[in-house]
Structures are given as structure tokens and as C-alpha cells.
């Protein structure tokens, strides 16, 4: 389910159903959590990329230094 689908979710009204405002408030809270997690995921993916690139550079540097020793 996308954030947009969650934001636009509507429920049927019935006589003894749920309080619409309470449901809307809950969905707003869930949507904020989804957005926060999406942002955190993007941040962590970017950090993984940076660290992966750094590891590759360090591995290449180690090989270079090992070649100098031999």
C-alpha cells in the first residue's frame, strides 16, 4: 500500500461503526510513520552506498600497498 492510498482510504459509515475522526487521526499517524520510515530508508540506502564505495576504495588501496611491498 502506498502512502497516497493510505491517505485517501475511506470507510463506510454505519450506525454503530467506528468514530470517523478517530479513524482519520489513526490513519494520519500511520501515514506519518510510513513517511518517516521511507525517509529513513532512503537515508540509510545512501549511507550504505557511501560506505560501500569507501570499502572498495580501501580494498584497492590495500592491493596497491601490497604491490609496493612485494
- What confidence tens digit (pLDDT) does each residue in 20-61 have? 888 888 888 999 999 999 999 999 999 999 999 999 999 999
Q: Rounded to 5 degrees, what angle do the CA atoms 35, 40, 44 make?
A: 150
Is residue 27 within 8 A of residue 9, CB to CB? The reply is yes
Neighbours of 3 (CB within 10 A): 13
The pLDDT assigned to 50 comes to 98
| Model pTM score | 0.64
Q: Which residue stretches of the chain are H helix?
A: 3-7, 20-69
Please provide the distance, in angstroms rounded to a whole number, between the alpha carbons at the two ends of the chain: 57
The pLDDT assigned to 10 comes to 78
Amino acid at each position: 500500500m502506498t502512502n497516497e492510498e493510505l491517505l485517501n482510504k475511506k470507510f463506510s459509515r454505519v450506525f454503530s461503526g467506528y468514530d470517523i475522526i478517530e479513524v482519520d487521526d489513526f490513519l494520519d499517524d500511520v501515514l506519518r510513520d510510513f513517511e518517516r520510515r521511507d525517509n529513513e530508508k532512503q537515508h540509510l540506502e545512501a549511507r550504505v552506498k557511501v560506505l560501500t564505495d569507501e570499502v572498495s576504495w580501501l580494498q584497492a588501496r590495500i592491493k596497491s600497498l601490497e604491490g609496493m611491498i612485494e
